[in-house]
Structure 1
Amino acid sequence: MPRISLFWRTFLMLAALIVASLAATLGSIRLLDPAPPEQRLAWELATVLNLTRSALVSADAERRLLLLDALARDEGVRVIPLEPGDRIDATAAGPRLRAIEPRLRQLLGEPTQVAGRVNGIDGVWISFGIEGDAYWLILPRERVERQFGPSVRLLGAIALVLSLVGALVLSRLVNRPLALLARAFGAVSRGEAPPPLPVRGPIEIAELNRRFNRMAADLAALERDRTIALAGISHDIRSPLARLRMEIELARLDEAQREAMAGDIDRIDRIVGQFVHYARIAQPPRGEAVDVPTVIEATASSYRPLVASDALELSIDTGDTRSWKGDPTDLIRAIGNLIDNALRYGRSADGVARIALRASATPAGITVEVADAGPGVPAEQLDRLLRPFERMDAERSDSGGAGLGLAIVDRIARRYGGSLRLASTPGSGLRARLELPGLAPAPRVPATVLR
């Protein structure tokens, strides 16, 4: 079942409540006033016509003319004889006037006609008889149609549309604090400093935002302290390492001992470097146009000695990648860590690491996929590989890593709002797919004119 966001869930609940309320209201109106407007108007017109006919029948000839003049002058009601040659325009009567005609026939009897235009004159024309003679009762058309007013269905549709728009706005206002909080959490997960959330509004939302702001400030302070501490540790460790390397070169040692000790020092230096790189990812990335194929080729060139020694088979396909907006150091570090991880843990049974690197462009940025032909990893243990300081087994403890390679790549991906996904089947190798969206262009600041 597809998941529905809180915004749409709130909107649908409000919409359902509004529709049910309108349906109940319209049903109540119909129960309280079951007669349709056409029937009520037919009753009123029949009453006017009967009163007019009774007045004309009871009045003498002189008073009858005065009565007709008074009706035309004061009420806008005219009475004229119905001639056989009258031209009745059947198309001029609207649907509501046509609906009145059968109801008037029920009230006045046959033959009663209702027309909207006779002899080219607009109005509401109703035929009736007086002592065997046929006459037309003519009423102003706007006076009759005004009695209809808008239909109940039209009023209900307008109320429904306005209510749904109001529900949409209300849902937006209700869910806006949660949307801001979700974006702020997304910024924290990418290692960015989120903007402070507003602490006004409902008490619960204000208190939640206040606590989040305090947590974000504490995390930022913790990141700064950790970066400073790791930088200091790096300096304190690398300085003695440099002296040890120099003393090893000057010491009287055979070549095998010198290479073993130099290898240990390089291993310690790489581990320290990984600590520092992992800490510095929390800093905001700098954005510039990066030539992706050039960066990939330059990164792969550092592995040429291994390729020349037949310890590595590296195939590269840059695909349709061109330019990417981001920090080139992050891209170099991510690709290098993926290759190093495949080189360290993805060797085939013959001891050769066969690695395939493929890159492609996406609408948001680029995708880099690195696959090896090693023994693979059980699917239930893939998540462990993305955790800092996690390694699969004790046999790999002497591989020269600190368990930060993939964690660094994952943190770089989240820094840009991307992802690192691992897939593997035991015996078929590990495949790492890195998705890196490009940074959004910085907003243009209008130039200030000095006067």
Structure 2
Amino acid sequence: MTKTLFGRTSLIITSTLLIFLLATISIVGYFIVLPVGKRNAEDLTSLILLSAQTYVELPPETRQDFIDELSKSHQLYWGDGNEPLAQHTHLGPHFRLMEESLSSRLGSNIDIVPETKNPDRYWIDIKLAEQAIRIGFDRQRIDVMLPYVAFYLVAILSIMAVLSSLLLVRKITKPVQSLSQAAGIIGAGGVPEPLLEEGPKELAETAKAFNKMSTDVQNLLENRTVLLGGISHDLRTPLTRMKMALEMLPNSVDTELSTELSEAVDTMALIIQEYMQLIQGFEDENIESVNIKTLITNIVSEIKPNKTQLVHLLGDSDYQLDTYAAALHRVLFNLIENAISYGNKAPVSIAWEQRNSVLEITISDQGFGIPQAQQKKIFRPFYRLETSRNRASGGSGLGLAIVDQIITQRGWKLCLSSTKSSGTSITLSI
């Protein structure tokens, strides 16, 4: 998630807000909650000690009235020493502050202990003027004095800050995400839906410019296809006439020259056919069920390698795949033809297997390999490792360009591995 713009922006804003709120909580706790808590503990401690001292100094006949008044007005209770008490445990911070204050004033260790029958009531044993006094109070007597509202408020603000930052970032990054997806569709040769030209001015103008660019690109591609289609049609007619004229030449014409001219005409016709395949693709193709072994066997038969050329097929002979049959045929034809043509006449292996719902077809030869610097360039139109432009030795330079366009359109993947010592291996993932 952090690799996306939404994830990174959300992480930065949320982290900043949480750090700010954590600092706020620390400041509020140190400068407000802690001093107020200490003051409350001191006040209750002073009231308890004052009540104990007053009780000791009062005549016995007035002490009961004093105890009743403390219970009624100050929620302090006088114990008779028989209350069942639990063992001393570590209590909350406000109790600890009271214990420290009482111990400091009386000069001895004072514990605040809860009652076993009434866990909400706590008792303190004090010894004054040789008299043991037990005074109790309820939890709410001290809890209500602590400003927990500040903590609750900060917690609510933290949740609101995080949620609002996520909503804000989502609102900002969603158009950018749509723009990225549309750009990917254009890169794959598709036509994306127009982006919504709304929202902040900058994003609306960007969407508008992108929609215009997308339309211009599609118009350019359509015009290119129409133009090249017309040129192809116009060129095929004179090439056909030239082919017929060559076949009608008298026998007195040099046979070698006639054959060379005929092969040149055939080469030009094939280049035109391949280039039209490159620009047209397989947009209207339907999905069909294909037996992989049968498809590869037929392709090898079409290529017609030399009788001494060995082609090993490795894979499940019954493997069926629902895919774009014509596109797959064209891709495998070009890849297998290259492996046989440039494989140094050594055996070629074609293996296929399924891994995690992905079919992988690997075509390996034992040729001279492709230099690392040229492994990406070979997929460019008309790029050839062999620079003489001789079709017999180097082809037209369109085969791998067609492969690259088809796998981009179909969302397939191609992985190339090539070294001088082991040849070239290409894996097609569908």
TM bracket (short chain): 0.7 to 0.9
Q: Which structure 1 residue ranges, 5 or more long, are not aligned? A: 437-451
**Relative to 1, partners in 2 of residues 1:422 and 1:218: Cα closer, same or farther, differing over 3 Å?**
same
Choose 156-165 or 116-125, whichever is displaced more.
156-165
**Relative to 1, partners in 2 of residues 1:88 and 1:151: Cα closer, same or farther, differing over 3 Å?**
farther
Query: Residue 424 in 1 paired to residue 418 in 2?
Result: yes
- Which secondary structure state, in structure 2, belongs to the residue aligned with residue 394 of structure 1? coil
Of residues 325, 330, 343, the one that matches 2:327 is 330
Structure 1 residue aligned with 2:218: 220
Structure 2 residue aligned with 1:292: 292
Structure 2 residue aligned with 1:133: 131
CA positional deviation for 1:78: 2.0
Choose 237-246 or 390-399, whichever is displaced more.
237-246
CA positional deviation for 1:29: 3.3
Letter in 2 for 1:366: L
Choose 274-283 or 229-238, whichever is displaced more.
229-238
Choose 178-187 or 251-260, whichever is displaced more.
251-260
CA positional deviation for 1:193: 1.0
Deviations 1:389-414 (A, max 9, x none): 22224323333743211111111122
Letter in 2 for 1:313: L
Structure 1 residue aligned with 2:177: 179
Q: Contact (CA 8 Å) 2:76, 2:136: kept in 1 or not?
A: yes
Structure 2 residue aligned with 1:188: 186
In 1, Cα distance between the equivalents of 2:20 and 2:117?
49
Matches within 5 A, 1:128-277: 128-129=126-127, 131-148=129-146, 163=161, 167-242=165-240, 245=243, 263-277=263-277
**Relative to 1, partners in 2 of residues 1:141 and 1:428: Cα closer, same or farther, differing over 3 Å?**
closer
Structure 2 residue aligned with 1:440: none
Structure 2 residue aligned with 1:79: 78
**Relative to 1, partners in 2 of residues 1:363 and 1:415: Cα closer, same or farther, differing over 3 Å?**
farther
Q: Contact (CA 8 Å) 1:14, 1:167: kept in 2 or not?
A: yes
Q: Contact (CA 8 Å) 2:53, 2:128: kept in 1 or not?
A: no
Deviations 1:334-391 (A, max 9, x none): 11111233344x152xxx3643323333436333332333333322122221111222
- Which secondary structure state, in structure 2, belongs to the residue aligned with residue 330 of structure 1? helix
Q: Contact (CA 8 Å) 1:181, 1:209: kept in 2 or not?
A: yes
Q: Contact (CA 8 Å) 2:94, 2:142: kept in 1 or not?
A: no
Deviations 1:212-266 (A, max 9, x none): 1111111112222222333333433445555555666666559877765554443
Matches within 5 A, 1:327-406: 327-344=324-341, 346-348=342-344, 352=345, 354-363=347-356, 365-399=358-392, 401-406=395-400
Q: Contact (CA 8 Å) 2:197, 2:205: kept in 1 or not?
A: yes
Q: Contact (CA 8 Å) 1:124, 1:138: kept in 2 or not?
A: yes
Identity of aligned residues (%): 26
Structure 1 residue aligned with 2:46: 47
Q: TM-score normalized by structure 1?
A: 0.78
Q: Supply the RMSD in Å over aligned alpha carbons.
A: 3.8
Q: Contact (CA 8 Å) 2:282, 2:327: kept in 1 or not?
A: no
**Relative to 1, partners in 2 of residues 1:62 and 1:44: Cα closer, same or farther, differing over 3 Å?**
same
- Which secondary structure state, in structure 1, belongs to the residue aligned with residue 115 of structure 2? strand
Letter in 1 for 2:396: A
**Relative to 1, partners in 2 of residues 1:256 and 1:343: Cα closer, same or farther, differing over 3 Å?**
farther
In 2, Cα distance between the equivalents of 1:110 and 1:51?
17
- Which secondary structure state, in structure 2, belongs to the residue aligned with residue 175 of structure 1? helix
Q: Contact (CA 8 Å) 1:125, 1:137: kept in 2 or not?
A: yes
Letter in 1 for 2:337: D
CA positional deviation for 1:17: 2.6
In 2, Cα distance between the equivalents of 1:229 and 1:389?
19
**Relative to 1, partners in 2 of residues 1:292 and 1:230: Cα closer, same or farther, differing over 3 Å?**
farther
**Relative to 1, partners in 2 of residues 1:201 and 1:285: Cα closer, same or farther, differing over 3 Å?**
farther
**Relative to 1, partners in 2 of residues 1:413 and 1:364: Cα closer, same or farther, differing over 3 Å?**
farther
Q: TM-score normalized by structure 2?
A: 0.82
In 2, Cα distance between the equivalents of 1:262 and 1:37?
103
Letter in 1 for 2:224: R
**Relative to 1, partners in 2 of residues 1:121 and 1:221: Cα closer, same or farther, differing over 3 Å?**
closer
**Relative to 1, partners in 2 of residues 1:371 and 1:122: Cα closer, same or farther, differing over 3 Å?**
closer
**Relative to 1, partners in 2 of residues 1:32 and 1:347: Cα closer, same or farther, differing over 3 Å?**
closer
Choose 284-293 or 146-155, whichever is displaced more.
146-155
CA positional deviation for 1:301: 2.6
**Relative to 1, partners in 2 of residues 1:428 and 1:68: Cα closer, same or farther, differing over 3 Å?**
closer
In 2, Cα distance between the equivalents of 1:261 and 1:354?
34
Choose 318-327 or 204-213, whichever is displaced more.
318-327
